[in-house]
Amino acid sequence: MLTYFTSAIFASLLLLLISTKSEGDELSVSRNSSLPLSDVDLLEFPLNLEYLEAEFFLWGSLGYGLDKVAPKLTAGGPPPVGGKKANLDPLTRDVILQFAYQEVGHLRAIKSTVKGFPRPLLDISAENFAKIINDAMKRTLIPPFDPYANGLNFLLASYIIPYVGLTGYVGANPQLQSFEAKRLVAGLLGVESAQDAVIRALLYERALQKVQPYDITVADFTDRISDLRNCIGKQGFKDEGLVVPVELGAEGRISGNVIAGDKDSVAYARSPEEILRIVYGTGNESIPGGFLPWGGDGRIARSCLKH
Ligand SMILES: *[C@@H]1O[C@H](CO)[C@@H](O)[C@H](O)[C@H]1NC(C)=O
Ligand SMILES: *[C@@H]1O[C@H](CO)[C@@H](O)[C@H](O)[C@H]1NC(C)=O
């Protein structure tokens, strides 16, 4: 009886071991990490945006980028095109420099969890921002919008970036399987959305001010940029400017919109494809351009490029 019992236990243990192993194979555990491959992909994808933010904020506040501040993190990827030191007031420079160093930390956090990839080619030139603003305004601004001209312009240009990362992290979260990936993404999301909130709050103070030399207010700039993202993301309404029709404000009761959110004030989610359409500026995840002239890296972005 005892022998029968013991061997039954032994057999079920053996089955358990076998089934655990085959489950592990099914998850395609990558060689150096215990993360499922799908988690690896979802953690590597945001590196594209984190590299972009790191370079834009470093260049804007310091006049140089990762090659000087954290060369190892570039893994030999090409230097960005068009970065330069912005003409920032002391408060904006202080805040942007903090963001810049935060992005360095984000890159390190991701790359110490997954292998990642070298810095992709990034276009952070004034011309690229001017083109995005022209697309948003549906006309050509004269003179062209220059993100590096002053603190307000740099904040408006910054409005273009962390929010996209934020929606990407919200979108990635429910797809993640492992505790480690969820913890990292929640941590990145927290700081990314805090950056977006700081940018929005600083702009909100000046919402009704005109952006010189244009006859366009700060609120209108944010509204147009958000509209453009809704349009080229192609998955509906997920982006809102600083002042909205009352029915789009919190609880449908207020037009001030210092923080974007859905009807329950819950953050919007975007898929990697939507994010690529937006950062490429082409509305098509297979056609690179914009901030990433050669396209993004990592399995998700590369597989979109093959189509
Ligand atoms: C695993 O680690 C080895 C040695 O550190 C390295 O050569 C290899 O590229 C790594 N592979 C992956 C998939 O990270
Ligand atoms: C995106 O671009 C690819 C490659 O040019 C093309 O085959 C595809 O039809 C485009 N998708 C859309 C929705 O326009």
Mind listing the pLDDT tens digit for each residue in 120-159?
999 999 999 999 999 999 999 999 999 999 999 999 999 9
Residue 89 within a domain: yes
Give the Cα-Cα-Cα angle 286, 226, 163 (nearest 5 degrees): 75
* 307: confidence class by pLDDT, cuts 50, 70, 90: low
pLDDT at 60 over 80: yes
Predicted structure pTM score: 0.87
Which 8-state DSSP code applies to residue 121? Answer: P
54 part of a folded domain:
yes
Q: List the single range of 1-10, 44-53, 150-159, 187-196 with lowest mean pLDDT.
A: 1-10
Q: How many Å apart are CA 285 and CA 279, to the nearest integer? A: 9
Q: Residue 74, class by beta-carbon neighbours within 10 Å (0-12 exposed, 13-18 middle, 19+ buried)?
A: buried
Residue 65 inside a domain? The answer is yes
| Residue 14 lies inside a defined structural domain of this protein | no
What pLDDT, on a 0 to 100 scale, did the predictor assign at position 12? 56
Reported as half-sphere exposure (CB side, CA atoms, 13 A), residue 273 has a value of 7
Question: How many angstroms separate the most distant Cα atoms in the chain?
Answer: 91
Reduce the DSSP state of residue 14 to 3 states and report it. helix
Distance 187 CA to ligand 2 centre (A): 34
Q: Name which residue sits closest to atom 8 of ligand 1, judged by CA.
A: 32
Residue 11 lies in a domain: no
Q: So what's the pLDDT on residue 18?
A: 45
Instruction: Identify the residue whose C-alpha is closest to ligand 1 atom 4.
Output: 32
The helix/strand/coil state of 286 is coil
DSSP state of 145: P
- Mean pLDDT of all residues belonging to the chain: 92
Would you say residue 211 lies in a domain?
yes
Residue 263's pLDDT is what? Answer: 95
Residue 31 pLDDT more than 70?
no
Q: Residue 210 falls within a domain, yes or no?
A: yes
Going 175 to 181 to 182 to 187, the CA torsion angle's sign is negative
Domain total of the chain: 1
Name the residue at shortest CA distance from atom 10 of ligand 1: 32
Q: Which domain holds residue 214?
A: 34-305
Angstrom distance (rounded) from CA 207 to CA 139: 21
Q: Is residue 23 part of a domain?
A: no
Measured from the Cβ of residue 172, the count of other Cβ atoms closer than 10 Å reads 25
Confidence (pLDDT) at 34: 82
How far from 270 is each of 44, 90, 275, CA to CA, in Å? 16, 34, 7
- Residue 20 DSSP symbol: H
Q: How far apart are CA 226 and CA 203, in angstroms?
A: 14
| Centroid of ligand 1 to alpha carbon of 120 (angstroms) | 20
Phi, psi of 288 (to 5 degrees): -70, 165
> Is it the case that residue 63 has pLDDT exceeding 60?
yes
Q: Is 123 helix (H, G, I), strand (E, B) or coil?
A: strand
Number of the ligand 2 atom closest to the C-alpha atom of 287: 2
Rounded to a whole number, what is the distance in angstroms from the first to the last CA of the chain?
63
Mean predicted confidence (pLDDT) in 26-35: 54
